[in-house]
Amino acid sequence: MGLFRAFNKYKNNIAIIDNEHSDLSYKQVLKETNKIKKKIKNKSLILIISENTLGSLLAYIFCIINNHVAIIVDSKTTQKNILKIFKNYEPNYIFLSKEMKTLFKKKCSEKYNFFDQSLIKNKISKKKKLNKNLSVLLSTSGSMGSIKFVKLSKRNLKTNTNSIINYLKINNKDSAITNLPISYSYMISVINTHFEVGGSIIISKYSLIEKEFWKILKNSKVTSFNGVPYTYEMLMRVGLKNIKIRTLKYLTQAGGKLEKNKLREIINFCKRNNIKFFSMYGQTEASPRISYLKPEFSEKKIGSIGKGLSGNKIYIIDNNGKKIVKPYVEGEIINEGKNVFMGYSKNCNDLNKLNEKNYKLKTGDLGFFDKDGFFFITSRISRIAKIFGNRVDLGHLESLMSQKNYKVVCLSDNNKISIFIEKSYNKTNLINTISKITNLNINSFELIKLKYFPRTSNNKVSYNELKKNNARL
Across the range 14-25, mean pLDDT stands at 91
Q: What does pTM read for this prediction?
A: 0.85
Q: Is the pLDDT of residue 419 over 90?
A: yes
Report the distance separating Cα 448 and Cα 63, nearest Å: 45
Select the more confidently predicted residue: 180 or 240: 180
Is residue 20 within 8 A of residue 67, CB to CB? The reply is no
Give yes or no for a cis peptide into 91 (omega within 30° of 0).
no
For residue range 312-356, what is the model confidence (pLDDT) as tens digits?
A: 999 999 989 999 999 999 999 999 999 999 999 999 999 998 987
3-state helix, strand, coil in the chain (%, to 5): 30, 30, 40
Q: Which pLDDT band, with edges at 50, 70 and 90, does 473 fall under?
A: very low
Q: What is the chain's Cα-based Rg?
A: 22
From the list 4, 68, 61, the residue with the least C-alpha distance to 33 is 61
Other C-beta atoms closer than 10 Å to the C-beta of 463 total: 16
Select the more confidently predicted residue: 378 or 413: 378
Q: Which pLDDT band, with edges at 50, 70 and 90, does 471 fall under?
A: very low
Report the distance separating Cα 470 and Cα 467, nearest Å: 8
Side-chain-side CA neighbours of 90 within 13 Å: the count stands at 13
For residue range 42-54, what is the model confidence (pLDDT) as tens digits?
A: 899 999 999 999 9
Per-residue pLDDT, 141: 52
For residue range 106-154, what is the model confidence (pLDDT) as tens digits?
A: 888 878 888 999 999 998 877 889 999 999 999 875 445 457 899 999 9
Distances (CA, A) of 449 to 125, 166, 407: 51, 47, 12
Q: Which pLDDT band, with edges at 50, 70 and 90, does 10 fall under?
A: very high
In the chain, what are the domains? Answer: 6-379 (3.40.50.12780), 385-467 (3.30.300.30)
